[in-house]
């Protein structure tokens, strides 16, 4: 919303200074500035770039990669060592850059700081740099500006502040009227908070908090804290890395002990150990994970979801609960007149954006033309005593003033009643602006031979002013109880209700135009306003429920409004699942256990403070949820920062919210989150496919050695052959597998349990099956070949080719955990198919290239041997396909997976 330009400072001097106080002297202000410091949010302390870079290497997976690089160097394999080194450095650079973005959230808060402030020093109103304000300064504020510090108001005239950035409450906050004498308690004086916007009126107050001690500063402090919520993928990968390290270490230790018992030389033991380490450690996994996440990031960007931190891709797919705010996320953040209730009970219900002719009229036999005529009379009374303005410009509409006034002007304009046209027939004579303590606004207009009076305000107030009501175009005696019931019924639906009346007086009014003339009015009816639910939200919430993701609303609005909006949005809840901020406060006082019990069932959280939103999110996490939090205001920033996944709105979201979030929705469309959940699940599924492929082949190679060495057989494969196998089978296929397309049923599955490890029952079973088929099958063939008189070199040549074929077949079966390769289609992932063909062609070329043949101990084989190896290698394909069929046909296995 655009606000009017402030008047010249000198024209406000008398109104703002009045006859009260002289404020601080310049000398007092200087001493206090030295004591309290400047009125600016503290800059976040950032680590040096070098320290940040070093910190990126504190990870078990990185330790394994470093070990792999060292092993490659010891083997004089400079190419592998260089490749792994590049991966490590790239990972460190990316991680360092991402960590530096954490400080941007606090820096973004600084953009909301008021650059200048109107302060009274030495009895004179002056405009100074807001950073020079100190506690005790007397500051003047006015419509259109931001409050420069936390101020305790001394007096206020029609002062209204938009505090939604701090509280989440969409309604503007009316400050109390003139407060001149000291209140019984300092705390009873109304406050204006730093960073909030003054939408109407003016006021003056004493600065009580500056910089970090303001409410805005407290939020900045929360954002500046390190986030203690890790993305699910990072948690799982840390556990996975530790597990792999222990398994590989244990297997190698066992083989070394067996080798010592067999009197193997130290050189042989060392070469075997490092060869197996390089083969079993999935050094290609970080790259494959990055590719999977990067591909999903691109897909999400096309769906208006911008990922700011790469692990957030998978984290969104892991969420089991979305804690969403209301204003601007589920709703349009545009207050709109949706209902008009005439005194005879006729309802005129309008969709968002609809003009009066398109509205639905409900009533007992009221002719539509008559109902519209009476509605136009009501909208005229809404438009004339109105302090807002609505102007159409080249780049759209510009609105100035209170959101309620703007909504009423918009409704009148859509009915063909622009205020400028009305005032041509009803020239303004006098105006009584809205005062919170009076609860009405009125205007007096010359028309024909009389003065017409138009009044808008609280229903109870206007009902008392009127003695008649408009019944089918006739002024009949007022039925106050009937009108109050109408108002209560509309408010129960979550509507903000205003009443309207009109009257008439003589041209020469005795005593001027004042409150004494607002009697014997005709009550015209009620208008209900609401911030409409986005049209796409109900379907998006249904999609979330289908995907097994719960949705909870966390808002600063009152419980009745929140429940009405939640029902319209499609949230499923009962009355006892509506929780208020007061209930949250009482639960917090009792301890975490009490709060966790409250959030275990709660689905609507209303009238909550910013700190409570963060407490709710953390409590949901303690209850076992991976929580995604949506928001757009400064008040949402702490929760966005500390949730498992923070989702900010891109269009109407504040910079603070965007910088605190992991994901930004560029179209402010809640439905885009569903697309993000889908892509997150695709990314995680692809990561699991890569992990399964790498671990099953690595485990098979370990089993091959664990069977051969204890039985006194020679090493099945030489270290250089293990390195070659690792290169040709895992160098390209894992990247291609990470780019696998969605399978189509991602949103029909229940979300993964937060405690679910990467190695679940399904993957463990599949790895064992694959390990036995490839490892034991390879050992059996090697044993038979040696028994039939093949030399060690010839047997290893055939065994190495068998494992190349095994791993190529395994790559095909890894494309889905449930669906058959025949259902997916062989050509659906051309990159994967090309990588398999390339790997096989590379190995065949090595068999015929002299220098590679010598290094790898390879040689060409006969067609009969090719047929035998292809038949043996295809066994892994059929075993995996059979297990997939079994999973699909047995619901118990499907649930276990």
The C-alpha atoms of residue 483 and residue 92 are separated, in whole angstroms, by: 68
Is residue 199 within 8 A of residue 162, CB to CB? The reply is yes
The 3-class secondary structure across 811-873, one letter per residue, is: HHHCCCCCCCHHHHCCCCCHHHHHHHHHHHHHHHHHHHCHHHHHHHCCCCCCHHHHHHHHHHH
Is residue 790 within 8 A of residue 865, CB to CB? The reply is no
Considering 158, 162, 325, 470, which one is annotated as catalytic?
325
Residue 366 carries which DSSP code?
-
10 CB neighbour count, 10 Å cutoff: 8
CA distances from 535 to 161, 169, 352 (A): 29, 22, 9
List the structure tokens of 203.
């006021």
The C-alpha atoms of residue 557 and residue 326 are separated, in whole angstroms, by: 8
**Residue 741 host element (H or E):** none
The C-alpha atoms of residue 430 and residue 236 are separated, in whole angstroms, by: 70
> Can you tell me which residue has the tokens 């979550």?
494
The C-alpha atoms of residue 293 and residue 313 are separated, in whole angstroms, by: 6
Residue 186 carries which DSSP code?
G
**Residue 513 host element (H or E):** none
For 336-373, letters b (16+ CB in 10 Å) and e give bbbbbbbbbebbbebebeeebeebebebeebeeeebbe
**Residue 197 host element (H or E):** strand 197-209
List the structure tokens of 712.
């006194």
**Residues belonging to the chain:** 897
The C-alpha atoms of residue 646 and residue 316 are separated, in whole angstroms, by: 9
The C-alpha atoms of residue 665 and residue 671 are separated, in whole angstroms, by: 10
The C-alpha atoms of residue 544 and residue 320 are separated, in whole angstroms, by: 9
The C-alpha atoms of residue 329 and residue 515 are separated, in whole angstroms, by: 41
Q: Which residues contact 662 (CB under 8 A, 6 or more apart)?
A: 231, 307, 308, 309, 312, 315, 640, 645, 646, 647
Identify whether 325 is a catalytic site residue: yes
3-state secondary structure of 800: helix
Is residue 673 within 8 A of residue 647, CB to CB? The reply is yes
Closest CA to 306 of 632, 647, 636: 647
List the structure tokens of 89.
């450095």
List the structure tokens of 698.
């690595």
Q: How far apart are the first and last CA of the chain?
A: 51
Q: What DSSP letter does each residue of 287-356 carry, written as one string?
A: HHHHHHHHHHHHHHHHTTEEESSTTHHHHHHH-SEEEE-STTTTB-S--EEEEEE-TTS-EEE--TT--G
Distance of alpha carbon 782 from its chain centroid, rounded? 55
Is residue 193 within 8 A of residue 149, CB to CB? The reply is no
Question: Which residues are paired to 471 by β-bridges?
Answer: 474
Q: What is the largest CA-CA distance in the chain?
A: 126
Residues with catalytic roles: 325
């Amino acid at each position: 919303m655009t606000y009017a330009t402030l008047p010249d400072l000198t024209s406000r001097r008398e109104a703002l200074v009045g006859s009260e106080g002289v404020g601080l002297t310049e000398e007092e202000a200087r001493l206090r500035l030295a004591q309290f410091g400047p009125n600016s949010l503290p800059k976040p302390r950032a680590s040096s770039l070098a320290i940040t870079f070093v910190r990126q290497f504190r990870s078990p997976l990185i330790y394994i990669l470093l070990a792999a690089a060292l092993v490659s160097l010891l083997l004089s394999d400079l190419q592998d060592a260089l490749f792994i080194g590049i991966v490590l450095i790239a990972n460190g650079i990316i991680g360092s850059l991402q960590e530096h973005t954490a400080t941007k959230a606090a820096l973004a808060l600084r953009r909301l700081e008021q650059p200048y402030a109107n302060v009274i020093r030495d009895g004179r109103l002056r405009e100074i740099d807001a950073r020079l304000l100190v506690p005790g300064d007397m500051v003047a504020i006015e419509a259109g500006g931001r409050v420069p510090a936390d101020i305790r108001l001394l007096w206020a005239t029609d002062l209204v502040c938009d505090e939604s950035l701090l509280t989440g409450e969409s309604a503007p906050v009316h400050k109390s009227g003139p407060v001149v004498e000291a209140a019984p308690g300092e705390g009873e004086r109304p406050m204006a908070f730093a960073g909030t916007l003054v939408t109407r009126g003016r006021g003056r107050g004493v600065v009580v908090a500056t910089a970090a001690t303001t409410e805005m500063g407290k939020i900045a402090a929360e954002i500046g804290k390190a986030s203690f919520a890790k993305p699910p993928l990072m948690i799982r990968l840390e556990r996975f890395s530790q597990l792999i390290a222990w398994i590989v270490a244990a297997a190698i230790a066992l083989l070394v002990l067996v080798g010592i018992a067999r009197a193997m030389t130290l050189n042989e033991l060392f070469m075997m150990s490092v060869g197996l380490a390089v083969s079993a450690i999935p050094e290609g996994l970080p790259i494959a994970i990055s590719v999977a996440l990067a591909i999903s990031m691109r897909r999400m960007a096309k769906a208006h979801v911008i990922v700011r931190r790469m692990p957030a891709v998978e984290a969104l797919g892991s969420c089991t609960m979305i804690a969403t705010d209301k204003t601007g996320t589920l709703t349009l953040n545009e207050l709109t007149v949706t209902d008009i209730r005439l005194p005879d009970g006729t309802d005129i219900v309008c969709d968002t954006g609809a003009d009066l002719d398109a509205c639905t009229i409900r009533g007992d036999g009221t002719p539509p033309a008559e109902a519209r005529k009476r509605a136009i009379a009501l909208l005229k009374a809404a438009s004339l005593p109105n302090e807002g303005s609505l102007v159409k410009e080249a780049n759209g509409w510009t609105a100035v003033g209170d959101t309620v006034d703007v909504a009423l002007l918009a409704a009148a304009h859509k009915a063909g009643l622009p205020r400028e046209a009305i005032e041509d027939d009803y020239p303004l004579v006098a105006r009584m602006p809205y005062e919170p303590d009076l609860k009405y606004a009125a205007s007096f207009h010359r028309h024909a031979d009389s003065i017409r009076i138009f009044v808008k305000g609280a229903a109870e107030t206007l009902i008392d002013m009127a003695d008649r009501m408009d019944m089918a175009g006739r002024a009949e005696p007022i039925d106050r109880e009937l009108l109050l019931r109408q108002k209560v019924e509309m408010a129960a639906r979550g509507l903000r209700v205003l009443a309207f009346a009109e009257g008439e007086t003589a041209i020469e009014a005795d005593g001027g135009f004042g409150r004494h003339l607002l009697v014997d009015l005709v009550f015209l009816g009620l208008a209900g306003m609401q911030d409409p639910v986005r049209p796409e939200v109900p379907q998006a919430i249904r999609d979330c429920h289908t995907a097994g993701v719960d949705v909870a609303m966390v808002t600063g609005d009152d419980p009745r409004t929140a429940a009405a909006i939640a029902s319209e949005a499609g949230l499923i809840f009962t009355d006892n699942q509506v929780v208020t901020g007061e209930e949250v406060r009482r639960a917090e006082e009792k301890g975490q256990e009490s709060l966790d019990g409250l959030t275990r069932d709660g689905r609507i959280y209303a009238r909550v403070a910013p700190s409570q939103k963060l407490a709710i999110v953390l409590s949901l996490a303690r209850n076992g949820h991976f929580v995604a939090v949506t928001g757009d205001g400064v008040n949402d920033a702490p929760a966005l920062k500390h949730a498992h996944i923070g989702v900010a709105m891109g269009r109407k979201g504040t910079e603070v919210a965007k910088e605190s979030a992991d994901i930004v929705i560029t179209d402010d469309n809640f439905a885009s989150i569903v697309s993000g959940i889908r892509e997150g699940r695709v990314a995680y599924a692809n990561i699991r496919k890569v992990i399964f492929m790498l671990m099953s082949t690595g485990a098979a190679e370990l089993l091959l050695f664990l069977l051969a060495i204890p039985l006194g057989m020679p090493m099945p494969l030489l270290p250089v052959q293990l390195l070659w196998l690792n290169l040709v089978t895992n160098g390209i296929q894992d990247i291609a597998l990470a780019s696998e397309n969605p399978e189509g049923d991602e949103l029909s599955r229940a979300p993964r349990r937060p405690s679910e490890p990467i190695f679940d029952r399904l993957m463990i079973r599949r790895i064992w099956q694959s390990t036995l088929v490839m490892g034991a099958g390879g050992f059996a063939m090697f044993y038979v070949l040696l028994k039939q008189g093949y030399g060690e070199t010839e047997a290893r040549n055939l065994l190495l080719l068998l494992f190349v074929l095994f791993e190529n077949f395994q790559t095909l079966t890894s494309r889905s955990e449930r669906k058959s390769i025949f259902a997916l289609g062989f050509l659906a992932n051309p990159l994967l198919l090309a990588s398999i063909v390339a790997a096989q062609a590379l190995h065949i070329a090595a068999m015929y290239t002299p220098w590679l043949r010598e290094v790898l101990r390879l040689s060409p084989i006969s067609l009969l041997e090719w047929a035998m190896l292809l038949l043996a290698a295809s066994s892994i394909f059929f075993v995996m396909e059979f297990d997939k069929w079994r999973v699909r046909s047995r619901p118990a296995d499907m649930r276990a997976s």
